[in-house]
Amino acid sequence: MRMTNEAFAEHLGISARTITRWHASPEMIHRTEVQQILDLAHEGAGEAVQRRFNLLLRPPDQAGLAQSLRVAITVVVRNEDVLLVCRRGGGELRWQFPAGVVKPGASPEVVAVQETHGETGVHCTVRQQLGERVHPVTGVVASYYLADHLAGEASNLDALENVDVTWVTRANLTRFIPQDQIFPPILTALEATV
C-alpha cells in the first residue's frame, strides 16, 4: 500500500512494533483475529495494490516457469529537457517515456538504451536505476532508468508504435503526462538533476 510501517500500523489499528516483528519473521503464522484484519485491509486496498501483493506471493522464477512481462523505461534528460514519445494504443494517444520489452535473459538497462535509440534516434547512457514497480495501468513489471543524452536529435523512428517524439522542458512534463501517473522516483530524480 506504499505506507510507512507507522502509517500501515495506524491503518490496521495495531502497534508499529507488531509490523516490525512481522518484517523480522515473515514466516510467522498470525492469530485468527489478526489474519481477519489483514484480509479486510487486502480486500479494501484496491486492484493495483492487490495485483502487486499477488506478485509477491508467487514463487521465485525457476527454469521452465513463465516469466513476468517486464519493460525497461528510460527517462532521458538533456539539460532542462526530457525525452517523450507519443504512443498509439487502445484508440487513444498517450505521451510517455521511451520503453521496450525485456526478453528473458536480457539486461533491462541495455534494453532501455537500445529501445530509446531504436524509437527516437537518441543515444543515451544510463546514469542510475530509479526503481521497479508493477505498473498500475498495464500490470507489467517496469524497471525505470534515468539516462543522459549523448547525441542525436529526436525523431520518430518507430511509426508503427509512435505518432511523435519530442523534448519537453521538465517544467512542462506534467502537461504531457499527469503527475499522478508518473512514478514518484522519476519526479524526485528530475528535481535533483540539472
Question: How many domains, the chain?
Answer: 2
64 falls in which pLDDT band (50, 70, 90)? very low
On whether both 132 and 164 belong to a single domain, the answer is yes
On whether both 132 and 51 belong to a single domain, the answer is no
On whether both 40 and 80 belong to a single domain, the answer is no
Could you tell me if residue 27 is inside a domain? Answer: yes
DSSP structural state of residue 13: T
Alpha carbons 14 and 40: distance in angstroms, whole number: 14
Alpha carbons 47 and 1: distance in angstroms, whole number: 11
pLDDT digits (tens, 9 = 90+) for 7-57: 877 888 887 777 777 767 666 676 677 777 777 887 788 877 777 777 666
Find out whether 78 and 61 touch, Cβ atoms under 8 Å: no
On whether both 96 and 33 belong to a single domain, the answer is no
Could you tell me if residue 130 is inside a domain? Answer: yes
Q: What is the CATH number of the domain that holds 93?
A: 3.90.79.10
Question: Mean pLDDT across the stretch 151-178?
Answer: 91
DSSP string, 12-56: HTS-HHHHHHHHH-TTPPPPHHHHHHHHHHHHTS-HHHHHHHHHH
Could you tell me if residue 65 is inside a domain? Answer: no
On whether both 47 and 135 belong to a single domain, the answer is no
On whether both 168 and 108 belong to a single domain, the answer is yes
Could you tell me if residue 172 is inside a domain? Answer: yes
On whether both 39 and 127 belong to a single domain, the answer is no
DSSP structural state of residue 162: E
On whether both 152 and 110 belong to a single domain, the answer is yes
Domain that includes residue 19, residue range: 5-57
On whether both 45 and 88 belong to a single domain, the answer is no
Could you tell me if residue 64 is inside a domain? Answer: no
On whether both 50 and 126 belong to a single domain, the answer is no
On whether both 15 and 37 belong to a single domain, the answer is yes
pLDDT digits (tens, 9 = 90+) for 121-153: 999 999 999 999 988 777 889 999 999 999 999
The residue ranking higher by pLDDT, 158 or 83, is 83
Residue where a domain stops, chosen among 15, 34, 57: 57
* Stated pTM of the model: 0.64
Q: Residue 143: phi, psi to the nearest 5?
A: -105, 125
Could you tell me if residue 38 is inside a domain? Answer: yes
On whether both 97 and 170 belong to a single domain, the answer is yes
Find out whether 162 and 83 touch, Cβ atoms under 8 Å: no
Alpha carbons 56 and 75: distance in angstroms, whole number: 26
